[in-house]
Structure 1
Amino acid sequence: MDPNKVDEASDKMSDDGEMASVMGFSGFGKKARTFDLEAIFEQTRRTAIERSQLVLEGRQKDDHMEQQGESSQSAKSSVPAPRNKATAATARKESGGSSSDSGSDSDSDSELIGPPLPPQHTSQGGDDELGSLTHASGTTAHSDDDDEDDEGEAQDDDDDNPVKKIPDSHEITLQHGTKIVSALALDPSGARLVTGGLDYDVRFWDFAGMDQALQAFRSIQPCECHQITSLQYSITGDVILVVSGNAQAKVLDRDGFNVMECVKGDQYIVDMAKTKGHTAMLNSGCWHPKMKEEFMTCSNDGTVRTWDLTSEKKHKSVFKPRSFQGKKVVPTSCTYSRDGKLIAAGCQDGTIQIWDRNLSVHTKFHCRQAHVPGSDTSCLSFSYDGRTLASRGGDDTLKMWDIRNFKKPVNVATGLCNYYTMTDCCFSPDDRLLLTGTSVKKDGGNGKLVFFDRVSFQKVYEIEVTNASVVRCLWHPKLNQIMVGTSNGLAKVYYDPVKSHRGAKLCVVKSQRKERQAETLTQDYIITPHALPMFREARQRSTRKQLEKDRLDPRKSHKPEPPVSGPGRGGRVAAHGGTLSSFIVKNIALDKTDDSNPRQAILRHAKEASDNPYWVAPAYTQTQPVPMFAEESESDEEAEKEPEWKKRKI
């Protein structure tokens, strides 16, 4: 080595030492670790020998146990050798691990078993034991993988089976009334539910505001004495379309106040396209799925009309369904496609007719014999992918159609009893199930909610709702809850605490509020401390006795009847108007006097006028002559008996 380089290195080391002493530390970093390789190899060899001896001892012990097991008659008392080998190998692994802990740091930190066995121990079965050890450890890992795979497969089965996604583990019942719940609607967020029935009422239910009493917060009659046929929220949820038995659809806001009323058409015009609105009762209606201002209605006047929320003076467009002979037919149900480009209508002659929304003259798709002629197609529903149409017929069938091939149905389900013209059918949120309700006669069993697989169209599930017909049903995609309307006035909500979200889950956890005590009006006690004893009232000891007395009094305890609005109800007539003509008519009707003989009506006041003269007689007391009245005689009686032609003309 060059002596100059050695001198430079020594100078550098001396400089580093001086620098370290000046800066106050001992050195610039940790020294490198030194390993005694010969000691490590010797320790490893000893560990391998000890491990091999343990393996041999365990094998001899296992062979001895196998011989004892073969000699015994009970097969259950014998332990399988591979499992024992695996157990022994595991024990040896643990003992080997404990012995290796006493080794060097590098050996304890590493997870390697060690070098292979020496050749003299290989022929004695060491490799077999190691193989069994490896096999046992591999089996354990494989079993863990199998468990994970089984869990994954079970989860995949749950995902593949759409029946397990039906939220029907819990239910709540909302009492709408006593008649058929003919309309149901949920807003897009799922916060409010509205129900309508044949009792003319529309009830508003707020899931977040209800408690366990499940009471509606508002009940109105928007169409007076017309039955509610259909209800639907717009896509924004701020207005509600109300279709009833009259010819004019209404649009209400979220609180039930009137926003718009469609105009009524001229019923004396033959061409329905020339009128501004419907002229007969409505059957169905729905909102456009993309445009929040447009909605559609169908009527018994044989037309399907679209309307704009901003212009209530006239409809937007008219679609006229026609029969095979070109005659007018009545549409009983109508709907938009999911993209809003198609308008479909089911008619009374059994046909399903579909138009392009922008071309109202000719149909784009037309099936002449979709259902039995003369039956009312109660519902049409498009799937979420927009390629499939489901129709619920009055001929007790449920059919599924492919829009791309609309000549014949893809699948048909029969035997589904249907008594109502508003029985629903709808798709599940994942588009894999199709559900509808069945009708029953009174005391004829339970109405059911039936689920069909969309691909195979097999009945995969059913729910017995109540002992009445199932009329309306909808499956909200955001809440994952099913709403059902029945013919006995109930609206049921099916949900699952795990699979469903919000909705009915919000109100079932709230305790019922305590009812307030009935407020009764009693006579107030006036305290007059400086009044004289003769004017001072006796102070009441308790108000309970006074309340009991007032309760026994029929006049104080009678609740006044509310005023009647509209044409009248329950045998009561509405109050008379404030006009002069209604007042005169009312007084004439209440007048009990009989003025059929005017002479007698005047003479009944003659005695009082002669006894107590007040107006005219006192002014003529001195000059008034005595009145002389003609007296009836026998000649007069004979004259009356004479024939009419003999009487003298006056």
Structure 2
Amino acid sequence: MDPNKIEEDTMDNDGEMASVMGFSGFGKKARTFDLDAIFETTRRTAIERSQHVLEGRQKEDGASSSQSKKPVAHLKKPAGPAKPKKQQSKSSSDSDSDSDSELIGPPVPPPQEEDQEDDEEMVGPPLPPGYTGSTAQEDEDDDDDDDDEPGEDEDDNPVKKIPDTHEITMQHGAKTVSALALDPSGARLVTGGFDYDVRFWDFAGMDTSLQAFRSLQPCECHSIKTLQYSITGDMLLVVSGNAQAKILDRDGFNVMECPKGDQYIVDMVNTKGHTAMLNSGCWHPKIKEEFMTCSNDGTVRTWDVNNDKKHKSVFKPRTFQGKKVTPTCCAYSRDGKLIAAGCQDGSIQIWDRNLSVHTKFHCKQAHTPGSDPSCLAFSYDGTTLASRGGDDTLKTWDIRNFKKPLNVATGLTTYFTMTDCCFSPDDKLVLTGTSVKKNEGNGKLVFFDRATFQKVYEVEVTNASVVRCLWHPKLNQIMVGTANGLAKVYYDPLKSHRGAKLCVVKSQRKERHAETLTQDYIITPHALPMFREARQRSTRKQLEKDRLDPMKSNKPEPPVSGPGRGGRVAAHGGTLSSFIVKNIALDKTDDSNPREAILRHAKEASENPYWVAPAYSKTQPETLFHEDSEEDEEADKEPEWKKRKI
């Protein structure tokens, strides 16, 4: 058959089917899109717009610098087949006609007069009128830059970043808070003191009463010197006044205890642990199982949590003459490759962690000889070391040039061997605490600029010494431990995060009075079944059962009805005594004048005697009254002390 005829028949059938079923446009072909052409058009449009942006910026720069300069030449057209102008206009008209049905994006406004020549050379949609050579994203960036101007001033002035607008105070005890620790997440604070206690404070679980949720004495009768959480926050290092450091888990349960060495061995390398009182300790900043301690036995030892039999390595600080010297504080560098120790002779000695024999850096008189350096702290960039000395100074050192200090601050009184110093999170400030004697002023938290080392700020904490200070980088909050048993947290509601902000908004919870069992359960295994008590399985059921028992629940007795029993009086008026009380004793007759009340019965008593006269009617019918004699008169005249007592 003829194919043209077949096609006509199918079209007629389609038309009949459309008319029967009510379709319109039945049988039309699906519309097709050339995706490659669309992508190519979009790519060219983006390139041309970016070229216009660059040209506009170059024109503005040229006009601002010099009016005599020539305008910047246009960039070359993107690579592609060139079209004649007629063909371009035709293609643009075709694209405009097709844009009614296949429009991608918003319609393009007419071109600007100044850029008509450029538009003729470019392929793509023209730019809107009033275009200044910057996109909306760039305008937003400019607005953001304008908004960030005060922020730039704050960056230049690190004092504005100190979070001290608000504070909370937690009462650790009555004695000095000698140790502070905050886990890396900033959720839990731990304090230790001279009262041997270690208290756990949970910011998320506390309310405004600010009570610790756990208190324990991990080292019995030894004061706590150092507390620090590991880098993962799951273990706590406890350094006390004894020779054995302890590792606790996050909730305060014992994980490990360092062994004690043999004090009769001369070479401390050959002992498995410390033999004298500990002074300080800290965790490795990169390896979560390693920590370090220093002791009065003249050694600095590193330990592994998984090995509680012996130390990992030993460092022995020496004086310049090679004699043994006691380390009073120790610290790891930020990368964990260096170990630093401050010694009693005023020196600071630094070793390579893998080489324990010779020091890598050694400053003989970093502080006054005989003064105990109380703290060493590395900056966050790892190039600067801050040392707090017992000679009332704070110094910073460049470990690359360790002969002379970079800066020195004097007049910072300290009476404690664990007074802290630390760097701010942005590494621009160094802070430390000062000590005072009782009733002689307030302890202060002092801030120094790291570059110039000028005192830029100070905070009066309380009327006691400031012993410990800690600036947490994640929370942006400052924790302070004082000599009168207080642990203070300074924060700013706008600049700080979580931490103390979580507990100050919670109202204090009311105490619940827990019900207790009214009777203890007594176990009698050999008693007869009839006398054996049933074993209690649920406290709640036992409480409900005891509540129903009138004896155990102390149920008040009801009032007695009837004549009364068991020595108890019945209701009012039910007995003879209550009747007498009601009718005679509580008689409401007015007896305000007792003489008149008695004489009221005188006439009746004389006419009809009942009590006295009938008794004497037979023996003494005539009444005889007593008459006063002379003897009686003389006796009345005698003084009272001569009268005879009857």
TM-score of the aligned structures, taking structure 2 as reference length? 0.60
The answer to whether residue 171 in structure 2 is matched with residue 171 in structure 1 is no
Pick closer, same or farther for the CA change 1:263–1:152 going to 2, 3 Å: closer
Q: Gaps (5+ residues) in structure 1?
A: 1-22, 27-108, 116-133, 135-143, 540-650
Q: Distance in 2 between matches of 1:278 and 1:537?
A: 77
The aligned counterpart of 1:494 is 490
The answer to whether residue 325 in structure 2 is matched with residue 349 in structure 1 is no
Q: 2:503 aligns with which of 491, 496, 507?
A: 507
Pick closer, same or farther for the CA change 1:145–1:302 going to 2, 3 Å: closer
Which amino acid in structure 2 is aligned with residue 491 of structure 1?
A
Q: Distance in 1 between matches of 2:436 and 2:455?
A: 19
1:187-586 map, 5 Å: 187-517=183-513, 524=552, 525=554
Q: Distance in 1 between matches of 2:376 and 2:206?
A: 32
Q: Distance in 1 between matches of 2:329 and 2:148?
A: 45
> Would the aligned equivalents of 1:528 and 1:536 in 2 still touch at CA under 8 Å?
no
Pick closer, same or farther for the CA change 1:279–1:536 going to 2, 3 Å: farther
Pick closer, same or farther for the CA change 1:153–1:362 going to 2, 3 Å: same
Deviation at 1:153, TM superposition (A): 2.8
Aligned-residue CA RMSD (Å): 3.8
Q: Distance in 2 between matches of 1:362 and 1:111?
A: 77
Q: Distance in 1 between matches of 2:391 and 2:420?
A: 14
The aligned counterpart of 2:70 is none
Deviation at 1:526, TM superposition (A): 7.0
Deviations 1:94-150 (A, max 9, x none): xxxxxxxxxxxxxxx9999x99xxxxxxxxxxxxxxxxxx9xxxxxxxxx9999876
Deviation at 1:162, TM superposition (A): 1.1
Q: Distance in 2 between matches of 1:304 and 1:110?
A: 75
Which amino acid in structure 2 is aligned with residue 461 of structure 1?
Y
Which amino acid in structure 2 is aligned with residue 323 of structure 1?
T
Pick closer, same or farther for the CA change 1:148–1:506 going to 2, 3 Å: closer
Deviation at 1:446, TM superposition (A): 1.0
Which amino acid in structure 2 is aligned with residue 442 of structure 1?
K
Pick closer, same or farther for the CA change 1:146–1:349 going to 2, 3 Å: same
Indicate the SS of the match to 2:512: coil
Indicate the SS of the match to 1:177: coil
Q: Distance in 2 between matches of 1:163 and 1:334?
A: 29
Pick closer, same or farther for the CA change 1:496–1:269 going to 2, 3 Å: same
TM-score of the aligned structures, taking structure 1 as reference length? 0.59
Deviation at 1:254, TM superposition (A): 1.2
Q: Percent identity?
A: 80
Count of residues in correspondence between the two structures? 427
Q: Distance in 1 between matches of 2:210 and 2:446?
A: 26
Pick closer, same or farther for the CA change 1:299–1:146 going to 2, 3 Å: closer
Deviation at 1:462, TM superposition (A): 1.0
Deviation at 1:335, TM superposition (A): 0.7
Q: Distance in 1 between matches of 2:466 and 2:452?
A: 24
Q: Gaps (5+ residues) in structure 2?
A: 1-17, 26-106, 114-129, 131-139, 519-550, 559-563, 571-646
Pick closer, same or farther for the CA change 1:25–1:428 going to 2, 3 Å: same
The answer to whether residue 148 in structure 2 is matched with residue 162 in structure 1 is no
Deviation at 1:154, TM superposition (A): 2.2
> Would the aligned equivalents of 1:191 and 1:503 in 2 still touch at CA under 8 Å?
yes
Deviations 1:187-215 (A, max 9, x none): 11111000000000000000000000000
Deviation at 1:166, TM superposition (A): 1.0
Pick closer, same or farther for the CA change 1:526–1:111 going to 2, 3 Å: closer
Deviations 1:482-503 (A, max 9, x none): 1000011000001111111111
Q: Distance in 2 between matches of 1:226 and 1:367?
A: 33
Q: Distance in 2 between matches of 1:535 and 1:176?
A: 58
In terms of fraction of residues, the more helix-rich structure is: 1
Q: Distance in 2 between matches of 1:251 and 1:537?
A: 68
Pick closer, same or farther for the CA change 1:224–1:146 going to 2, 3 Å: closer
Indicate the SS of the match to 2:185: coil
